[in-house]
Structure 1
Amino acid sequence: MTVGVDDFKKAMQLWASGVTVVTTHSEKFGLQGMTVTAFSSVSINPPQVLVCINESADTGVGIQESQCFAVNVLTASQQDVSNQFAGGSSQEQRFENTPWTPGIIGAPILDSSLTSLECIVIEKIHAGTHWIIIGEVQNCVCRSGEPLLYYRGAYQQLLIQP
């Protein structure tokens, strides 16, 4: 017997996660990006990460075409960016007020993110309602700041003690 959807959601809300915006650019679909909290490192050698993207998300279709993506880890001051990329607006609107630069592999890098990891797709696995996309990191840019966190259905910030 498996756990019910509501119980599973309640349990997963007790897991604090960082907030990222996954971006890509393809000739057919242009700039695309979406907020993603399902992100993790996979391997250090070779450097690999994974993101989980709903199979109905248009950004996933763009990643399939471009075969590359960037994971932009948001800072504590970027709640508005997370909300903008979470849906309810067009792809064009998502990028309008968010400064970005093309990365070395073509995926958009958000200029103010805490870190940006540029990846090429090495594997895509279907699981339930999502695609698990594994990427090999080709480049990373690290900046200073504190991460934006998501816990119990709300944004949170780290409390750093001296």
Structure 2
Amino acid sequence: MAVSADDFKQALQLWASGVTVVTTHSEKYGTQGMTATAFSSVSVNPPQILVCINEMADTGEGINESQCFAVNVLTAQQQDVSGQFAGGSSQAQRFADNEWQAGISGAPILTQSLMSLDCKVVEKVRAGTHWIIIGEVQDAICREGEPLLYYRGAYRFLNAQ
């Protein structure tokens, strides 16, 4: 028998993760983005990453149409950005409030983020309530700063040593 959803969520709160905003742009759905913590590297050669997106998320529909996306890792100063892209405002308002530019794939790159990976979709796998989307990295943009972390249901920050 599988663990209960509540026990599973409680256990996963003990995993500290970075906070990202996954973005895309398609003709049908326009410019879209959402906050996500389920992000990981997959392969160095070829350079691939994965993101996990709830099947109900409208951003997933845009990624499916455009076959591209960007992962923007947020800085410690971007807690408000995380909140906006988590559903606190409309898609149009999310992008109006944050500086961005189109990446080489056409996906929005948040120019104030710590790092951005511009990707083309190479595989999409359904797993429970989510889609695992594997992307091949077409461009990597690195900037200065410290990451925004999420742990035990709250934002956290690195302590400078």
TM score, norm. by length of structure 2: 0.99
Partner of 2:27: 27
Alpha-carbon separation, structure 1, partners of 2:78 and 2:113: 8
Deviations 1:8-48 (A, max 9, x none): 11000000000000000001110000000000000001000
Runs (4 or more) in structure 1 with deviation over 4 Å come to none
User: Deviations 1:24-79 (Å, cap 9, x if unpaired)?
Assistant: 00011100000000000000010000000000000000000000000000000000
- Give the drift of 1:135: 0.1
- CA distance in 2 between partners of 1:74 and 1:131 (Å): 22
Structure 1 residues 2-151: aligned runs within 5 Å: 2-151=2-151
5+ unaligned residues in a row in structure 1: which ranges?
none
What does the per-residue CA deviation read over 1:69-108, in whole Å, with 9 as the maximum and x for residues that have no partner? 0000000000000000001421111111101011111000
d(CA) in 1 for partners of 2:18 and 2:10?
18
Classify the secondary structure of the residue corresponding to 2:6.
helix
Q: Distance in 2 between matches of 1:69 and 1:102?
A: 11
Equivalent residue of 1:86, what SS? helix
Cα offset for 1:145? 0.2
Alignment length, in residue pairs? 161
**Unmatched 5+ stretches in structure 2:** none
Secondary structure of 1:70 counterpart: strand
Q: Give the residue type in structure 2 aligned to 1:112.
A: Q
- Aligned residue for 1:61, secondary structure, equals helix
SS at match of 1:119: strand
Structure 1 residues 105-152: Cα deviation after superposition (integer angstroms, max 9, x where no partner): 100000100000000000000000000000000001000000000000
Q: CA RMSD in A?
A: 0.5
C-alpha distance in 2 between matches for 1:139 and 1:10:
35
Q: Identity of counterpart residues, as a percentage?
A: 76
User: What secondary structure is seen at the aligned counterpart in 1 of 2:41?
Assistant: strand
Residue range with higher mean Cα deviation, 61-70 or 87-96:
87-96
Partner in structure 2 of residue 153 of structure 1: 153
- TM norm structure 1: 0.98
Mapped partners of 1:134, 1:117: distance in 2: 12
